Amino acid sequence: MVINLKDVSFEFETHRVLDQINLNISEHRIGIIGVNGSGKSTLARLISGLIAPTSGSIRLNKIDVFKDRKAALKTVGIIFQNPDHQIIFPTCVEEISFGLIQQGMTRIEAEKKSKQLLLKFDKSNWSDELAHNLSQGQRHFLCLISVLAMEPDVIILDEPYAGLDLPTSIKLKNTIKKLNQQIVMITHDREILEDFERILWIDNGKIVRDGSFESVMPDFEKEMRKRANVSD
């Protein structure tokens, strides 16, 4: 999958959140780093097609995922930092089934596949469970299963481990690590990023560094210590 952004800018009211972003991404694992408010989550939503750029173009294998939402469902999935911003249905099966129905399955077919996926991930006891009864970590996992159900080529994860306890975080990391899909992840987890092929550092709406973990992360950490007035 090739993710192409050409002269992409995004403005909210009078604030330019992203400014003239040009990227051509084909790597299997891509990490996005930057301080809060730098434009990371906006970039994730643009790539997923949830919002349109103010100017410029975004294509995933030449598909405009904002305009072609049907193609987008098979092309890209996104998992938000807060699962409560993503889960919209009462039960776990209904939540997983929704995207499948959007793709053209009947409700019966979608529910059958949803239950098969829950069984695959050893969560068959969630079939009739209310989503709001799950812990935050479990709701994150439900969101991941919902995205995987649609079999997208690209999965975007926005701080997927934020707020999780250690056992849940480890389990989710191991699951994501085994995925075959192209992964674009917003995270500051150094251990995770070490295995990524490419790191994008965003600051004030611009890509300030783009390269390998070894070439980007030391400078990023040095800059963060500088801003925090912490010496080496």
Cβ(192)–Cβ(173) under 8 Å?
Answer: yes
Residue 70 half-sphere exposure toward CB, CA atoms < 13 A: 3
Q: Is residue 83 part of a domain?
A: yes
Please name the residues in contact with 55: beta carbons below 8 A apart, sequence gap of 6 or more. Answer: 7, 8, 9
146 close to 98: Cβ distance less than 8 angstroms: yes
| DSSP result, 153-204 | SEEEEESTTTT--HHHHHHHHHHHHT--SEEEEE---HHHHTT-SEEEEEET
β-strand pairing of 182-186 with 154-158 = parallel
Determine the Cα–Cα distance for residues 115 and 128; give it in Å rounded to an integer: 10
Query: Tens of pLDDT along the chain (232 residues)?
Result: 899 999 999 999 889 999 999 999 999 999 999 999 999 999 999 999 999 999 999 999 999 999 998 888 889 999 988 888 899 999 999 999 999 999 999 999 999 999 999 998 889 999 889 999 998 888 988 999 999 999 999 999 998 887 777 887 888 888 888 899 999 999 988 888 999 999 999 999 999 999 999 999 999 999 999 988 865 5
Range of the domain at 133: 3-185
- Residue 144 covered by a domain: yes
CATH number at residue 21: 3.40.50.300
Residue 128 gets which letter from DSSP? T
**Distance from C-alpha of 221 to C-alpha of 65, rounded to nearest angstrom:** 34
| Residue among 208, 212, 210 at smallest CA distance from 224 | 208
Q: Which long-range contacts (CB under 8 A, 24 or more apart) does 189-193 make?
A: 189/161, 190/217, 192/31, 192/161, 193/31, 193/33, 193/217
Residues 47, 60 contacting (CB under 8 angstroms) = yes
* Residue whose structure tokens are 């009078």: 14
Token readout for 122 is 């050893």
144-163 in b/e form (b: 16+ CB < 10 A) is bbbbbbbebbbbbbbbbbee
How far is residue 60's CA from residue 126's CA, in Å, rounded to a whole number?
Answer: 33
Q: What pLDDT does residue 230 have?
A: 65
Give the containing element (helix H, strand E) for 215. Answer: helix 213-227
Is 116 a domain residue?
A: yes
Is residue 191 one of the residues assigned to a domain? Answer: no
pLDDT for residue 189: 85
Number of domains in the chain: 1
**Token digits of residue 178:** 């085994």
For residues 187-204, one letter each, b for 16 or more C-beta atoms within 10 angstroms of the residue's C-beta and e for the rest, the string is bbbeebbeebebbbbbbe
pLDDT of 69 reads 85
Q: According to the model, what pLDDT value does residue 231 have?
A: 59
* Residue 72 belongs to a domain: yes
- Residue 158 confidence (pLDDT): 93
